[in-house]
Amino acid sequence: YTVAANQIKAQVSPTMYGIFFEDINMAADGGVYAELVKNRSFEFNTALAGWQQQQKNGGAGSITVVNRSDERPENPHIIKVNVTSPVGYFGLSNEGFRGMGIKKGETYSFSVMARNPLKSKTTIVVELHSAKGQIIGKAQLIPVAIGWQKYNIKFVASATENKASLFVWLKGKGAIDLDMISLFPSHTWKNRPGGLRADLVQKLADLKPGFLRFPGGCIVEGRDLANRYQWKKSIGDIDKRENIINRWNTEFGHRLTPDYYQTFGLGFMEYFLTAEDIGATPLPILNCGMACQFNTGQLVAMDKLDPYVQDALDLIEFANGGLDTKWGKLRAELGHPKPFNLKMLGVGNEQWGEQYIERWKIFTKAIKDKYPDIKIISSVGPFAGGKEFDLLNKTFRELDADILDEHYYNGPKWFLENAKRYDNYDRKGPKIFAGEYAAQSVTTGSPDNKNTLECALAEAAFMTGLERNADVVTMASYAPLFAHVDAWQWTPDLIWFDNLRSYGTPNYYVQQLFSLNKGTDVVPLLEGTEMISGRDGCYATACLDKNKKELIIKFVNSGAKSQSVVFNIEGMDIKNQATVTSLGNTDKTIVNSLDKPKAISPVDSTLAVNGKAVKLTVESYTFKVIKLKSI
Ligand code: AHR
């Protein structure tokens, strides 16, 4: 093979490899959002879902759900706990999100909104129980105020437990009103109170992503328009963020999750902050007046589209506006005077048909008139390669769209065959965002799909094609991102977790190796005059990192035979030692798991280089990244 290190073919966009975040598979509530209490504000359709009445040692009483929608339409439900017995304990327990993950020695922060209108002499006793019923943490407080007040108390857990529950006891006769019952670990990402799970955000940071796309996915669209994602309702005080039913609740999925709601504790401000923390460009996707077409497919009437468009304009002002603007000022009040430097915005997720185009045109005109530099991401639907997809593609080319969001969920074979997908693409039209993709080991939608090495290698092969065509493809992200092992609707997923642990799949490591080694400029890697894309199951790409003065070769051997390869480097003098990172195994069905999180993970080595020829063996089912330093 020849690598012409002095012939720049294309620049690699700094945003090339990024993250697709969606609250599916309990990625947000029950996942990265570190709140341990499920249904903390009693807003699920069944107001006491996740809660159970409890009594011990002769305690007695009743719990009533009170609706105060006139006073607080966005958070109407509270509970009134009447303790009728002067002895014992009466109260309720919360099961968490498939249990609560508790760590020995960690400090936990319990908080509650309470009022004591009758001035009862009642104490709130908080206990953490292990799955076997042992008390592994305890604290108490006295709610003295007649009106609503927030009470906080911290305590340290005495044991580690994956399936703990929280008991909130009331001791002493009286009547106390409660709302927003919450429990957080003190140690969160950047130790922000009420923040995000540090181990999960760290996994995102370790990808060094170019962008963070949020908040989805189909949840942008919602099951119906009333339950679409509305960013303005996801910022500010958490008790004012209106809860809705999640698009992924119950009816689609192999593990039913009737208890799947969105509290928006992870809202747009948190998304923007996380993107900033991990050095990713923020990429919000907004509802375009269409509910999920795989669900109710509700449409807003064209003459009622204005508020949706206004949401988009206001979001740009929220992200980028000065302190003299309404939404920029609000951003500052929420703690971030500096702009978030928003450059891109998605209009609709996986939408298609005439209805999408007519709504898209109105959004695009309004956004471009006011913010001509903002790039708009347009959906080309879910059916890559189908009739609808071709039609949308053609229409968006005619409409001079900026960036098209293509999605591919297919078998590994499709990914191997499509490594050449962009080699002969129209260079003059819109750029491509490979916005959602994942190789499916069984078939799309199968609950038996696994994150196998075979799938990861097929994605790596496909990504060599994305990188080789970096002049057309400017962004790419695997999807979905997260999945709770006990509460998922969709598989495969990039990162799996339970209440205490998490692991990256082989697919995660492929994403990471591409992202950490993306380079700055693509150079030709040829076999004779041909690109290496499929012969003997091999796929490759090469790029320079001008900043690090490195030549980076990515080589995928998806086949069962090992390959001896020689790269002749032209146009660059290289040092006599290369570094090689390998991800591979003789068994292509191997997966990672909570117990074996690194069964497949990258292994680093060095390679002696003689002159301009780089010789190495690429074993079967292996992806290698070879880095050569310029002299
Ligand atoms: O990634 C899971 C889902 O796949 C997304 O919500 C949707 O955009 C696509 O259909």
pLDDT digits (tens, 9 = 90+) for 274-332: 999 999 999 999 999 999 998 899 999 999 999 999 999 999 999 999 999 999 999 99
Q: What is the mean pLDDT of residues 486-493?
A: 94
Q: Which residue's CA is the closest to the ligand 1 atom numbered 4?
A: 217
pLDDT at position 22 is 98
Global pTM value? 0.97
pLDDT at position 435 is 97
- Rounded to the nearest angstrom, the distance between the alpha carbon of 293 and the centre of ligand 1 is 12
- 2-11+522-629 has which fold? Immunoglobulin-like (2.60.40)
Evaluate: CB of 22 within 6 angstroms of ligand 1: yes
Task: Specify which of 244-253, 264-273, 421-430 reaches the highest per-range mean pLDDT.
Answer: 264-273
Q: Choose which residue among 21, 24, 378 to substitute to test ligand 1 binding: the one with the highest number of ligand atoms within 8 A of its C-beta.
A: 24
pLDDT at position 326 is 98
Q: Which residues pair with 61 in a beta bridge?
A: 83
Q: CA 343 → CA 5, 94, 122, 279, 319, distances in Å?
A: 32, 42, 53, 14, 10
What is the CB neighbour count within 10 angstroms for residue 146?
11
pLDDT digits (tens, 9 = 90+) for 368-414: 999 999 999 999 988 777 888 889 999 999 999 999 999 999 999 99
pLDDT at position 254 is 56
pLDDT at position 388 is 86
Evaluate: CB of 259 within 6 angstroms of ligand 1: no
Residue 370 has φ and ψ, to the nearest 5°, of -90, -35
- Rounded to the nearest angstrom, the distance between the alpha carbon of 363 and the centre of ligand 1 is 22
Q: How many CA atoms lie within 13 A of 486 on its CB side?
A: 15
pLDDT at position 531 is 85
| Residue 253 pLDDT grade (very low, low, confident, very high; cuts 50, 70, 90) | low
What is the CB neighbour count within 10 angstroms for residue 131?
11
pLDDT at position 252 is 53
Evaluate: CB of 222 within 6 angstroms of ligand 1: no
Domain with CATH 2.60.120.260 in the chain: 51-185
Angle (nearest 5°) at CA 374 between 371 and 377: 135
DSSP state of 13: P
Evaluate: CB of 479 within 6 angstroms of ligand 1: yes
Query: Is 350 annotated as catalytic?
Result: yes
DSSP state of 46: S
The answer on pLDDT for 251 being more than 70 is no
What is the separation of C-alpha 535 from the centre of its chain, rounded to a whole number of angstroms?
Answer: 35
Pick from 545, 563, 509, 566: which is nearest to 627 by CA? 545
Q: Choose which residue among 21, 25, 214, 350 to substitute to test ligand 1 binding: the one with the highest number of ligand atoms within 8 A of its C-beta.
A: 350
Q: Choose which residue among 379, 436, 481, 482 to substitute to test ligand 1 binding: the one with the highest number of ligand atoms within 8 A of its C-beta.
A: 436
What would the DSSP string read from start to end of 48-79? TTTEEEEEETT--EEEEEEE-TTT-TTS-EEE
pLDDT digits (tens, 9 = 90+) for 100-136: 999 999 999 999 999 999 999 999 999 999 999 999 9
Evaluate: CB of 405 within 6 angstroms of ligand 1: no
pLDDT digits (tens, 9 = 90+) for 134-161: 999 999 999 999 999 999 999 999 999 9
Length of the chain in terms of residues written: 631
pLDDT at position 294 is 87
Percent over 90 (pLDDT), the chain: 94
Evaluate: CB of 50 within 6 angstroms of ligand 1: no
Residue 73 has φ and ψ, to the nearest 5°, of -60, -25
**Which residue in this structure is represented by tokens 């328009």?**
225
Evaluate: CB of 490 within 6 angstroms of ligand 1: yes
pLDDT at position 303 is 97
Q: What amino acid is encoded at 389 in this protein?
A: F
What is the CB neighbour count within 10 angstroms for residue 238?
18
Q: Are 394 and 365 in contact (CB under 8 A)?
A: no
What would the DSSP string read from start to end of 340-393? ----EEEE-SS--SHHHHHHHHHHHHHHHHH-TT-EEEEE--S-TTSHHHHHHH
| Residue 67 pLDDT grade (very low, low, confident, very high; cuts 50, 70, 90) | very high
pLDDT at position 70 is 94
First CA to last CA distance, the chain: 21
Burial of 388 (0-12, 13-18, 19+ CB in 10 A): middle
Q: Choose which residue among 247, 260, 293, 349 to substitute to test ligand 1 binding: the one with the highest number of ligand atoms within 8 A of its C-beta.
A: 349
What would the DSSP string read from start to end of 265-279? SS-HHHHHHHHHHTT
- Rounded to the nearest angstrom, the distance between the alpha carbon of 385 and the centre of ligand 1 is 17
CATH number assigned to the domain covering 51-185: 2.60.120.260
- Rounded to the nearest angstrom, the distance between the alpha carbon of 469 and the centre of ligand 1 is 25
CA distance 478 to 504: 13
Evaluate: CB of 349 within 6 angstroms of ligand 1: yes
Q: Are 402 and 378 in contact (CB under 8 A)?
A: yes
pLDDT digits (tens, 9 = 90+) for 510-532: 999 999 999 999 999 999 888 88
The answer on pLDDT for 437 being more than 90 is yes
Q: Which residue's CA is the closest to the ligand 1 atom numbered 9?
A: 217
Instruction: Order across the sheet with 107-115: list the strands.
Output: 61-67, 77-83, 174-185, 107-115, 149-156
Query: Which of ligand 1's atoms lies nearest the C-alpha of 248?
Result: 6
- 19-34+196-516 has which fold? TIM Barrel (3.20.20)
pLDDT at position 258 is 82
Pick from 447, 460, 545, 475: which is nearest to 508 by CA? 460
pLDDT at position 49 is 96
Evaluate: CB of 382 within 6 angstroms of ligand 1: yes
Q: CA 284 → CA 213, 231, 307, 577, 619, distances in Å?
A: 6, 10, 17, 43, 40
Catalytic residue among 35, 43, 350, 467: 350
pLDDT at position 528 is 87
Domain with CATH 2.60.40.1180 in the chain: 2-11+522-629
Evaluate: CB of 350 within 6 angstroms of ligand 1: yes
Helix 453-468 to helix 506-516 angle, to the nearest 10 degrees? 20
DSSP state of 33: B
| Residue 255 pLDDT grade (very low, low, confident, very high; cuts 50, 70, 90) | low
Q: Which residue's CA is the closest to the ligand 1 atom numbered 6?
A: 217
| Residue 187 pLDDT grade (very low, low, confident, very high; cuts 50, 70, 90) | very high
